[in-house]
């Protein structure tokens, strides 16, 4: 890879152009027949799976188009965000039980419900969609934010401020599985909601999740963020296949989630709530790079064991994007220019193995351009949310115009929660 091409991504304009290239590709994934946008496409925008629409992808389209509007990548993206938001609320909303359907099946006449379980992971992205749309001035964004926040607080969050994973369609049965991944994205969504509204309650909710998942639990088990837990939030150490339909991780430790948490802790540290945030962010960042980066081929492996040995060597295609965002945030918060080296390394891998230089967007299977045989650009969950987010966070961190809603003190205090489920 040309080092000049990599170093160009140290400049905001190159990052902004890359964000526009990503989102322009997805504008062409608009479903003219059924509405909304389709995430399961190839590089030529032909669809490789027409059977389903997933709540996460539908919400992520709102998020990434709103990010494009926020970062001046083009006014056209605000219109796309509005269209994606309308589709999300019209088609995925469960009008009988409340909340949002998890999976829809595409039919000749439109859509039918394939899975109406209520997933925290999915509702976290509905909240994130509402928050980013609100910040971008997308019509309906604030209404969606308020609705999703109420659902999360009343139905999904428990007494300790942590969320359950899966609830039945009618909200009556709660799975005993607990997962950090859904909570991580709920933390992300509450941070975005705080940015959008300045409501200190959102920052409190984000902090409580981060404090438990990224500090208190890791302190007692080895310093890493573990993926899987039992109902009482004790770690489930069993190495067994998980239910991917409920976003139950097949890995014990995800290096990509360590850098993702490093990014989120750095974002939390912008509001100066606690002294532990930046040191823990630096620690998790280092852990991911020291134990999860594949030194021969590049990229982050998918899974590690408790002893930090590799359990799943296949690359996590989304993880380099999270590493880019984490490096940008940590450089901004610490002032350490050494984080540029990590960002450069992740960009070099992405530009060599993941970026579609012809059509825009990132592939879901890493491969050098000369050896590529898999041209899929998205899956059921992922329409370039991670790569668009990496660009957006890089622009935000380097802008020098980060808008803080004000420091919120007393984040260690108990905040009344209305959740019906206890963890």
Mean pLDDT (the chain, rounded):
92
Answer for the pair 320, 354: CB distance below 8 angstroms, yes or no. yes
Name the CA dihedral angle for 25, 27, 33, 39, rounded to a multiple of 10 degrees.
Answer: 60
CA 210 to chain centre: 15
47 sits in which H/E element: none
How far is residue 247's CA from residue 119's CA, in Å, rounded to a whole number?
9
Instruction: Specify the pLDDT at position 195.
Output: 96
How far is residue 262's CA from residue 239's CA, in Å, rounded to a whole number?
25
The three-state secondary structure class of 307 is coil
Strand ranges in 18-63 using DSSP code E only, listed in sequence order:
52-54
CA 265 to chain centre: 14
Instruction: Specify the pLDDT at position 140.
Output: 98
Integer Rg of the chain from CA: 20
145-160 b/e with 16+ CB inside 10 Å = b? bbbbbebbbebbbbeb
Instruction: Specify the pLDDT at position 417.
Output: 29
Residues ≥6 apart with Cβ < 8 Å to 338: none
Complete domains list, the chain, with CATH: 3-237+248-398 (1.50.10.10)
| pTM (predicted TM-score) | 0.94
Instruction: Specify the pLDDT at position 2.
Output: 60
Answer for the pair 389, 64: CB distance below 8 angstroms, yes or no. yes
How many Cβ atoms from other residues are within 10 Å of residue 411's Cβ? 20
* pLDDT by residue, tens only, the chain of 423 residues: 567 689 899 999 999 999 999 999 999 999 999 999 999 999 999 999 889 999 999 999 999 999 999 998 778 999 999 999 999 999 999 999 999 999 999 998 899 999 999 999 999 999 999 999 999 999 999 999 999 999 999 999 998 899 999 999 999 999 999 999 999 999 999 999 999 999 999 999 999 999 999 999 999 999 999 999 999 999 999 988 899 899 999 999 999 999 999 999 999 999 877 999 999 999 999 999 999 999 988 999 999 999 999 999 999 999 999 999 999 999 999 999 999 999 999 999 999 999 999 999 999 999 988 899 999 998 889 999 999 999 999 999 988 544 444 344 344 443 332 333 322
292 sits in which H/E element: helix 277-292
How far is residue 316's CA from residue 303's CA, in Å, rounded to a whole number?
9
Which residue bears the tokens 């912008």? 270
**For the segment 303-318, what is each residue's pLDDT rounded down to a tens digit?**
999 999 999 999 999 9
What DSSP string describes 175-229?
-S-EEHHHHHHHHHHHHHHHHHH--HHHHHHHHHHHIIIIIIHHHHHTSS---EE
**For the segment 135-159, what is each residue's pLDDT rounded down to a tens digit?**
999 999 999 999 999 999 999 999 8
Report which of 85, 83, 65, 82 is spatially closest to residue 74, judged by C-alpha positions.
65
Instruction: Specify the pLDDT at position 423.
Output: 27
Kindly state the tokens that stand for 243: 């239910």
| Residue positions counted in the chain | 423
Q: Indicate the DSSP class of residue 370.
A: G
Instruction: Specify the pLDDT at position 81.
Output: 98
């Amino acid at each position: 890879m040309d080092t000049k091409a990599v170093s160009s991504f140290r400049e905001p304009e190159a990052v902004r152009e890359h964000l526009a290239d990503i989102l322009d590709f997805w504008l062409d994934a608009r479903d003219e027949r059924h509405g909304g946008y389709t995430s399961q496409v190839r590089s030529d925008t032909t669809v490789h799976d027409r059977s389903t629409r997933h709540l996460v992808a539908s919400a992520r389209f709102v998020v990434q188009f709103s990010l494009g509007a926020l970062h001046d990548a083009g006014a056209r993206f605000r219109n796309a965000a509005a269209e994606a938001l309308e589709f999300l609320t019209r088609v995925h909303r469960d009008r009988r039980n409340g909340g949002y359907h998890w999976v829809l099946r595409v039919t000749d006449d439109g859509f039918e419900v394939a899975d109406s379980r209520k997933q925290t992971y999915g509702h976290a992205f509905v909240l994130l969609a509402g928050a980013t749309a609100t910040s971008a001035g997308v019509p309906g964004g604030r209404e969606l934010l308020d609705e999703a926040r109420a659902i999360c607080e009343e139905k999904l969050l428990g007494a300790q401020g942590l969320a359950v994973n899966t609830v039945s369609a009618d909200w009556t049965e709660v799975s005993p599985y607990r997962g950090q991944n859904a909570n991580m994205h709920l933390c992300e969504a509450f941070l975005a909601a705080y940015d959008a509204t300045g409501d200190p309650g959102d920052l409190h909710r984000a902090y409580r999740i981060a404090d438990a998942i990224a500090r208190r639990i890791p302190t007692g088990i080895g310093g890493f963020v573990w993926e899987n837990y039992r109902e009482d939030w004790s770690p489930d150490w069993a190495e067994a296949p998980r239910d991917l339909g409920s976003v139950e991780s097949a890995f014990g430790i995800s290096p990509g989630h360590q850098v993702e948490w490093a990014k989120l802790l750095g974002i939390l540290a912008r509001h100066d709530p606690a002294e532990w945030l930046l040191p823990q962010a630096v620690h998790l960042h280092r852990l991911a790079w020291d134990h999860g980066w594949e030194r021969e081929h590049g990229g982050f492996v998918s899974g590690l064991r408790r002893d930090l040995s590799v359990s799943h060597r296949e690359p996590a295609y989304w993880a380099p994007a999270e590493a880019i965002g984490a490096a940008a945030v940590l450089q901004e918060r610490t002032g350490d220019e050494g984080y540029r080296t990590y960002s450069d390394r992740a960009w070099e891998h992405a530009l060599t193995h993941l970026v579609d230089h012809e059509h825009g967007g990132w592939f879901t299977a890493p491969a050098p351009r000369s050896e590529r045989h898999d041209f899929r650009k998205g899956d059921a969950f992922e329409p370039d949310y991670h790569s668009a987010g990496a660009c957006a966070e890089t622009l935000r961190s380097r802008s020098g115009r980060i808008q803080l809603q004000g420091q919120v003190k007393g984040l260690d205090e108990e905040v009344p929660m209305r959740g019906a489920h206890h963890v």
